[in-house]
Structure 1
Amino acid sequence: MKVWAVANQKGGVGKTTSSIALAGLLADAGKRVVVVDLDPHGSMTSYFGHDPDSLEHSVFDLFQHQGAVPEGLPQQLLLPTSHERIALLPSSTALATLERQSPGQNGLGLVISKALAQLWQEFDHAIIDSPPLLGVLMVNALAASQHLVIPVQTEFLALKGLERMVNTINMINRSRRQALPFSIVPTLFDRRTQASIGALRVLRDTYPETLWPAFIPVDTRLRDASRHGLVPSRHDANSRGVIAYRALLKHLLGQVPASQVA
């Protein structure tokens, strides 16, 4: 299984859209994909037609066992999606209480890693949608991940959020055996605005080694896909956004070191 996390400490940069678009393209290619919603807002869960406010069981259940994950629990939590080869580990609003509970518990940083270990033979890929703040949930996403995707909106306020995210990765890497590789992905690019063009130029100048050289454009077809609960490639396979995500996926599949792929 290849495990990718999608994270940024700023909201509204296209994390959920990126997670679902990449999952959809992998599934279209015949891969079995599990998507993990670690955001208490539950955008990914809602996207696929499940209500995070009313779900009785969610990834929150995984964190209720003092850092252990009971055998078979991850499989029990899986929900269907609109794509037959994508399964969802859903979020619920109860996740918002996890930060208050976690100080008294040890070992919570590896819960998602342990859950995915139980699903290792059932899926080819796992994509984790992370919350936009540093805490136990993002730590879980980064600890489980083999490669990190950082979507960054091409506007100047988002560049400060990226700086914080890179600092967080450097901090996390001090406790990992292997440094976590990451790809910065410019999103919501609008070539009609100087703000987008200028922000993209700054990204290319500042992060030449880790920046994906292309970008995800603003595309209303991506929003339309979410309204229908379909992965973007099933809604419009030839939209500008899907074409860009297809190029990104090709890049990511070439970036993951073979030594990190089970």
Structure 2
Amino acid sequence: MAKIVAFSTNKGGVLKTSLAINVAGSLATQGKKILIIDMDNQGNIATSFGQDPDQYETTIYDLLTDLTDKHLSDAIVTITPNLDIIAANDDLAYLEIDILTDAKKYPDCFNLLNRVIKRVSDDYDFIIIDTPPAMGLVAANVFNVADDVIIPLQPEQYAFRSLVKTVGAIEKFKATNKSLQIVDVVPTKVRNTNMHHAYIDAAKNYTKSMDIPFSSIMIRDTVKYGEMTARLGMPVTMIEHPSKILSPYKDVFDSLVKELGYLD
């Protein structure tokens, strides 16, 4: 069965998608079979691979709301031989309304994603889940099925508060999902300022008190991650022979995958 890895925090703009696609890309290029599931209605997983999320007739929304499972094969899009995606688009923004207003049809609303993943888990080594910056029904579905959660942390005031809130939300789901654990907190968009150093130190102290690993990898504050993905239509970790300019960015994400212990 696949290891299910989610990237989650309720703060937006902290490189969740960049982390997700680059970890997935690094694993795929090392021979692992990967499925990325986009659980964010912004649809950034598809666009990261040069795809238009609105072009797909079948997305994760259809799989979550149609209990017949007839659309599963239509939703899986092959990007490379080792990497598939299930896209999301604006339809997913209506999920909570559609589900919570029809309790008779969806009595087990926290396990909709679990039902989908059970049908594909044996086909992959890793299932990577990108999540929205919110702690609602979508996040509940993710926490009910994930094995590992990686939390990106932008070292600023509101992001630090989001870290505490995200950890608290995850802790509540450990009672129903015994395999759920936070495996890393990864500093992102880090600048060499006293304020950022102070928030990183505070976050390290907090995670230590909660017995949560804190990454030795720091993702620096640069626009190049987004620029490279948009220009190349793929994460930097999937470039076979990166240039001297791109190599340091690829190395950062490859090092993160090794730190997580996902490669032998």
Counterpart for residue 154 of structure 1: 155
2:258 equivalent among 246, 250, 253: 250
**8 A Cα contact 2:121 2:127, kept in partner:** no
1:234 aligns to 2:238 (yes or no): yes
Would the aligned equivalents of 1:217 and 1:244 in 2 still touch at CA under 8 Å?
A: no
- In structure 2, runs of 5+ residues without a counterpart are none
What displacement does 1:163 show? 1.1
Q: Does 1:212 align with 2:215?
A: yes
Shift of 1:99: 0.9
CA–CA separation in structure 2 for the residues paired with 1:217 and 1:239: 14
What is the CA–CA distance in structure 2 between the aligned matches of 1:194 and 1:167, rounded to whole Å? 27
Tell me the CA shift for residue 27 of structure 1: 0.5
Range moving further from structure 2, 197-206 or 123-132: 197-206
SS in 2 for 1:144: coil
- Structure 2 counterpart of 1:5, one-letter code: A
Whole-angstrom CA distance in 2 between matches of 1:92 and 1:226: 19
**Aligned-residue offset at 1:250:** 1.3
Select between 28-37 and 201-210 the one with higher mean Cα deviation.
201-210
% same residue: 22
The TM-score with structure 2 as length reference comes to 0.87
- SS of the residue corresponding to residue 207 of structure 1 reads helix
Letter matched to residue 220 of structure 2: P
Structure 2 match to 1:87: 84
- TM-superposition CA deviations, 1:202-236 (whole Å, max 9, x none): 11122123212332223444223211211112344
Give the secondary structure class of the aligned counterpart of 1:151: strand
Q: Structure 1 84/225 Cα, relative in aligned 2: closer, same or farther at 3 Å?
A: farther
The answer to whether the Cα contact below 8 Å between 1:79 and 1:89 also exists between their aligned partners in 2 is: yes
TM-score (norm 1): 0.87
C-alpha distance in 1 between matches for 2:254 and 2:72 = 29
Distance 1:62 1:26 in 2: 25
Instruction: Report what 2:138 is aligned to.
Output: 137
How big is the shift at 1:198? 1.8
Per-residue CA shift, 1:124-144, capped at 9, x if unaligned?
A: 111000111112211111112
**Change over 3 Å in CA distance of 1:214–1:48 after alignment to 2:** closer
Decide whether the 8 Å contact of 1:130 with 1:138 is kept in 2.
yes
Q: CA deviation at 1:181?
A: 3.5
> Relative to structure 1, is the Cα distance of residues 19 and 254 closer, same or farther in structure 2, using a 3 angstrom cutoff?
closer
Residue-by-residue CA offset, 1:177-207 (whole Å, 9 max, x unaligned):
345333211111122x222222211111221
Whichever residue aligns with residue 144 of structure 2, its letter is: A
Count of aligned residue pairs for this structure pair? 250
Q: How does 1:156-171 map to 2 (within 5 A)?
A: 156-171=157-172
Q: State the distance in 1 between where 2:257 and 2:68 align.
A: 31
Q: Which residue of 1 aligns with 2:38?
A: 37
The residue identity in structure 1 corresponding to 2:30 is A
| Distance in 2, Cα, partners of 1:234 & 1:24 | 5
CA distance in 1, matches of 2:252, 2:45: 20
* CA displacement 1:77-110 (0-9 Å, x = unmatched): 11132x4321110002110001111212222322
Structure 1 residue 222 and structure 2 residue 225: aligned?
Answer: yes
CA distance in 1, matches of 2:63, 2:116: 8
1:91 match: secondary structure:
coil
Instruction: Supply the distance in 2 between the matched residues of 1:162 and 1:241 (Cα, whole angstroms).
Output: 25
Question: Offset of 1:54 from its aligned partner?
Answer: 4.0
CA RMSD of aligned residues (A): 2.0
- 1:101 matches 2:98: yes
Flag the 1:197–1:144 CA change in 2: closer, same or farther, 3 A: same
Query: Is the contact between residue 156 and residue 195 of structure 1 (CA under 8 Å) also seen in structure 2?
Result: no
Tell me how far apart the structure 2 counterparts of residues 178 and 86 of structure 1 sit (CA, whole Å): 24
Q: 1:229 to 1:119 in 2, by over 3 A?
A: same
